[in-house]
Structure 1
């Protein structure tokens, strides 16, 4: 494997180029939009164009690596290295013309994440981390917030695509937290939520039924920003709580309170 800093520079340049594609198509009147698992689970031609660009670059520079990407699924090669990609996180935002959408790229080796990048093209914000080397936003070191009281915290969350048909849809937890915290935010892009926790802009985050491409880069960035991630193993998909150690524990306690009421 080449020097990881060189790999990181490659990934950042790819993200910038994909960002140009996304900005070119943003608010295009004839943007092609389809649905996947449900009527609210969107995929656009830009998701596909973005993914193709990244996959082509990986296949060129690291042809023996495995790839897991949201739109194409898994390209399974005999390798200890795995790229995990969300070419356009926040597709619904993008389709609406909202500026909160991201490119998320992570590289793992034997299941351990070595590198994570989350790039917001419209905002021109580049979050990045290498394992054991800290987390950065546009070149400046970032850390999670140091708040400890939930009433002072602004938390973020999201809802699964099957929220209309599945009872485990996060609505009960959301309602529970409304009076408990300073504010709740629903950005519509989990990778950006995680990155904002790493930067201390958000004090915590929880969500249920996420996928690997939603979280792989963001989780590393949080950990390198001196934050903590707790996985909710009793939930479906990838479900987690993120923040500093104290906030994580308090959010988890509140979730468990809701769970006990359901029993």
Structure 2
């Protein structure tokens, strides 16, 4: 396993262990910001410090971009660690299991390595560009569904146009698909990599939140793009992701939902 993956795993495991312990005592977890756009708990901060401690101890010269603590430029501007210390933090605060720690390493503008640790489900997702993706010791591959009938499609209604969301969900149901809402887009993306889900539609989130999940999906053979179909989703308002055979069908449904 690549040294960067090993380092990211160590950081994510340490932070994930603390999150798992805290999930048993949510009365001690403080809500620092309850707004929809900037929801933040005391464990976001604690997990962020843990991840950064491990990474910066090993590579103080690297740069770091965290959803929680922002951007820290190092001497080496070509290597940037992208960190979301608590994906699904609203789920965590509510006592749900769909949360985790996300760490990705970007080199020369390209995401090269990714780790997502989900401590309560005992699942670790890893990927290196060109080397595939794994869940624990098992290689990941997206499904091969060609029709939406009997598929499970994730939706995250936060920040999506209300009428478009209702239209999209209605179209899915009419085609025999089963909509699913987990409350965490990054986890929906990696669940698509495992073939537990077959695709999804959601609002775009910040790069540190989606970086690891997007590489894991791509290395499992999946596609992810903005709602226009452009793989560079950095300027897009929405995301569509799926296995290659369903991807265009979801894009088409999204356009129909807006008409």
* TM-score of the two chains, using structure 2 as the length reference: 0.90
Q: What is the rounded CA distance, in whole Å, between the counterparts of 2:227 and 2:14 in structure 1?
A: 35
Q: How far did residue 147 of structure 1 move? A: 0.4
1:228 aligns with 2:223: yes
**Which of residues 16, 19, 38 is equivalent to 1:19?**
16
Structure 2 stretches lacking a partner, 5+ long: none
Superposed, which structure 2 residues align to 1:14-163 within 5 Å? 14-28=11-25, 29-35=27-33, 38-39=35-36, 41-78=38-75, 79-160=77-158, 162=159
Q: How far did residue 108 of structure 1 move? A: 0.7
Q: 1:21 to 1:210 in 2, by over 3 A?
A: same
1:186 aligns with 2:185: no
Q: What is the rounded CA distance, in whole Å, between the counterparts of 1:110 and 1:171 in structure 2?
A: 40
Does the 8 Å contact 2:226/2:240 carry over to 1?
yes
SS in 2 for 1:210: coil
Does the 8 Å contact 1:211/1:237 carry over to 2?
no
SS in 1 for 2:49: helix
Q: How far did residue 82 of structure 1 move? A: 1.0
Does the 8 Å contact 1:27/1:95 carry over to 2?
no
Q: What is the rounded CA distance, in whole Å, between the counterparts of 1:168 and 1:74 in structure 2?
A: 36
Structure 1 stretches lacking a partner, 5+ long: none
Q: What is the rounded CA distance, in whole Å, between the counterparts of 1:141 and 1:11 in structure 2?
A: 19
User: What is the RMSD of the two structures over their aligned residues, measured on CA atoms?
Assistant: 2.2
**Which of residues 207, 213, 223 is equivalent to 1:212?**
207
Deviations 1:225-263 (A, max 9, x none): 11112222599655221111121110001111122x1xx
**Corresponding residue pairs, total:** 253
Of residues 125-134 and 7-16 in structure 1, the stretch that sits farther from structure 2 once superposed is 7-16
Of residues 144-153 and 231-240 in structure 1, the stretch that sits farther from structure 2 once superposed is 231-240
Q: 1:211 to 1:125 in 2, by over 3 A?
A: same
Q: How far did residue 222 of structure 1 move? A: 0.9
